Chain A
Amino acid sequence: MKNDPNCKFDVAKIRSDFPILSQKMNAKPLIYLDSAASTMKPRQVVESISDLYYGYYANIHRGVYLFSQISTEKYENARSVVKKYINAKYDEEIIFTRGATESINLIAHSYGRPNLKEGDEIIVTEMEHHANIVPWQQLCKETGAKLRYIPFDDKGELILEEYDKMVSNKTKIVSIVHISNSLGTINPVKYIFNKAKEVGAVTLLDASQSIQHVKVDVQELNCDFLAFSGHKIYGPTGIGILYGKLHLLEDMPPYQTGGDMIKSVSFERTLFADIPGRFEAGTQNIEGAIGLGAAIEYVSSIGLDEIAQYEHSLLEYANQKIREIPQVTIIGNAKQKASLISFLLEDIHPHDVGTIMDKLGIAVRTGQHCTEPTMKHFGITATTRASFAFYNTIDDINVFIEGIKQVIETFE
């Protein structure tokens, strides 16, 4: 696929890798438009996990026998796959966690607590997921630091002049969402992080919604830390990534303590392991890591540029179709936008929209999307959100648009 996205992108082949997409929901063919909440899993990911359990499973980093060594190798190989995918410098900079939420909590705990004090400031945006607000609020309570929010305008774009005024030598952490899960806005990370580096602040990118759609290069973007969840990039649930620059991670105390994260333990004291082991206490999510590695290899085999281009063509088509319905108001109209549409249907409550869509076999997300402050900006409590992934088709969007029309008809 080079120029004509609808022609060359082999979506039928991709769909054949996702058996669940041929299922019915409420006796209707499933139209899955909730990939921003969680993506479906391709055969390759599921098989990487069954291969593990049926073929060579053993606990890692422990046994001297062959299966333990193979399991360890596969687990560590997944780390290298992630490292390559985000262009980190070293394997040790990749920490396996339970997900984006745990990654952010880990940074707040192990970087934030020892390094922040009263008078320091942390900057986030007003469009953060709760996962990138609440850990910082807790940290501020403990340290006396102050949490500041970059505002956004009615289109859903950050007001950078306000950010420019906010950054100072008090700024210690700048943590922002790359792509908003409720508005779809793609934020100008590079600008924001360059500015943060000018005052020596540490930067964290919440890549939960970008890692599966666009190229994320931690070195190019000036990320000190980066967080994402495996289940949003076609991988398993319960696994996530924390990337951290080597010199930062090396100085950080552990998040949890116990087995596997130590060098030596006596009754008097413990020597902690080097990174990344220091942050991977206890028996790890081996299947999660291996499944995530397989997911990233799958995405890479299709190609991020191709994915981005195809998904953008879906977004454009959906945008054009949905705008023909006069009752629709789109929430989030940033110029740079990922492939999701949050919207209102006059005064029809999103939960009624969701229920009617469900009966038609269409899975959309309704509610506040864990972004209550973002909703507040627009004076609303909920939206309906349709998000598109590379396995969605123009037909999916046609059914979705018909669904909207049926909702309106029902309420007429």
Chain B
Amino acid sequence: MSELNDLYQEIILDHNKNPRNWGKIDLPSNFAEGFNPLCGDKIELYVNYNGDKIQDIKFEGNGCAISKASASVMTTMVKGKTKDEITKIYNEFHQIITEGCNHDHYIDENLEVFCGVKEYPGRVKCAALAWHTLNDILKRIDNNG
């Protein structure tokens, strides 16, 4: 299955099977739902934001391996980070899934597993779902001060 290794890497399969930060937060400071009507993918994202950083983040939902792994990786990366820090990671992630990886530049090792997504145009939306949902939350945090 060598052709598929670029997409279904060990790390993706592991996050799919054992998603990190899986579950709900009782009384979260922020909550958002994301849908991908094309696949029927769905994510519920729970965030505790303390005015400065994301203290805690959890998610639930159902979706394909790509969307689940992407959500799982995302939660591990943004926990304890400020909005500006997260925006930076988001921008890097977005570039990777739409334009691929330019290995002349530094790539966060957590995001490297998504380098192959660009080759699967039908799956870019799956990878982006969790991040778009988080973005909705960050925008709302912005508007509230």
Contacts and interface: CB of A to CB of B under 8 A. Distances in A.
A355 B64 CA distance: 10
A351 B123 contact: yes
Given A350-B64, A351-B66, A411-B65, 11 more contacts: A26-B3, A349-B39, A349-B64, A351-B64, A351-B126, A356-B1, A356-B4, A359-B3, A366-B39, A367-B38, A411-B13
A382 interface: yes
A337 B123 CA distance: 32
Contacts of B123: 351, 355
> Which has the most chain B C-beta neighbours within 10 Å: A350, A351, A355, A359?
A351
B3 A352 contact: no
Tell me the dominant secondary structure on chain B's binding face.
mixed
Given A349-B65, A351-B126, A355-B123, A382 B1 contact: no
Contacts of A351: 39, 41, 64, 66, 123, 126
A366 to B, nearest CB: 8
Contacts of A406: 1
A410 B7 CA distance: 11
Contacts of B13: 410-411
11 contacts: A26-B3, A349-B64, A351-B66, A351-B126, A356-B1, A367-B39, A381-B40, A410-B1, A410-B13, A411-B8, A411-B13
Contacts of A382: 39-40
Interface of B: 1, 3-4, 7-8, 13, 38-42, 62-66, 120, 122-123, 126
A348 B63 CA distance: 9
Contacts of B62: 349, 381
A158 to B, nearest CB: 25
Interface string A114-136: 00000000000000000000000
B120 A355 contact: yes
Interface in A43-75: none
Nearest to B5: A410
A79 B111 CA distance: 58
Interface string A334-366: 000000000000001111100110010000001
Q: Is the interface of A mostly helix, strand, loop or mixed?
A: helix
A352 B120 CA distance: 11
A368 interface: yes
A210 to B, nearest CB: 27
A409 B13 CA distance: 12
Contacts of A381: 40, 42, 62
Contacts of A356: 1, 4, 8
Contacts of B4: 356, 359, 410
Interface residues of A, number: 18
Contacts of B7: 355
Given A367-B38, A367-B40, A381-B40, A352 B1 contact: no
A359 B3 CA distance: 7
Nearest to A350: B64
Nearest to A412: B13
Contacts of B63: 349
A381 B1 CA distance: 27
A352 B39 contact: no
Q: Which 3 A-B pairs have the closest CB atoms?
A: A349-B64, A381-B40, A351-B64
A18 B113 CA distance: 40
Nearest to B6: A359
A352 B69 CA distance: 12
A410 B8 CA distance: 8
Contacts of B42: 381
Contacts of A410: 1, 4, 8, 13
A305 B4 CA distance: 41
Nearest to A406: B1
A359 B123 CA distance: 13
Interface in A354-412: 355-356, 359, 366-368, 381-382, 406, 409-411
Nearest to A375: B40
B7, B38, B39, B41: residue with the most chain A Cβ atoms closer than 10 Å: B39
Contact of B40 (A368, A409, A411): A368
A348 to B, nearest CB: 8
A65 B120 CA distance: 52
Nearest to A354: B122
A349 B17 CA distance: 12
A352 B40 contact: no
A382 B42 CA distance: 12
Interface string A77-89: 0000000000000
A385 to B, nearest CB: 14
B81 to A, nearest CB: 29
